[in-house]
Amino acid sequence: MNPLDDQLNRLFHAASQVKGEPLAGPAFGLETRALAAWRSARSVETGFWDVATLMRGLILASVIMGISLLPALRSVESSDSTTDPFADYLQLTDSTVSSDDTQ
């Protein structure tokens, strides 16, 4: 083995023998902070007004809107095809002519 590698190995081995002083325990208030973090994450997940629910609601609302508009559109289309677009205009002209005759 390369002497440098051997020295590095021995150095690392000696260093690994040092055990760090363990932390005394959870810092003051950490338990509360952790619990609060869990609660807030949970409220986002289970909350009514989360993004996923809102998106689902929007999609459902647009589908209902589409379905409810469908009959109205159909009736407009059918009334357009049966009536003559110039009928009202001709009727108006007729009435003008007849009123002129009476005078």
Partner 1 sequence: MTDAEVTACLARARDGDEKAVLEIFHYMYPHVAKLVQANLPARESAEDLVQQVCVKVMSHLDQFSGKVPFFHWVSRIAVNTCLNQIRHEKRRPEVRLADLSEDEAKVVEHLAASPGELDASDHVASKELVDKLLAVLRPDDRLLMRLMYLEGRQMDEIADLTGWSRSLIKVRAFRARAQLRRRYSLLMKENP
* Binding site residues, partner 1, CB under 8 A: 2, 4-8, 10-18, 20-23, 25-27, 30-31, 33-35, 37-42, 45
Work out how close the CB of 53 gets to partner 1 at its nearest, in angstroms, rounded to a whole number: 16
Nearer to partner 1, 38 or 89 (CB): 38
Q: Cα–Cα distance between 70 and 62 in angstroms, integer? A: 12
DSSP labels for 21-79?
Answer: PPP-SSPTTHHHHHHHHHHHHHHHHH-TT-HHHHHHHHHHHHHHHHHHHHHHHHHHHHH
Nearer to partner 1, 37 or 65 (CB): 37
Work out how close the CB of 68 gets to partner 1 at its nearest, in angstroms, rounded to a whole number: 38
Amino acid making up residue 42: R
Work out how close the CB of 41 gets to partner 1 at its nearest, in angstroms, rounded to a whole number: 4
Nearer to partner 1, 37 or 90 (CB): 37
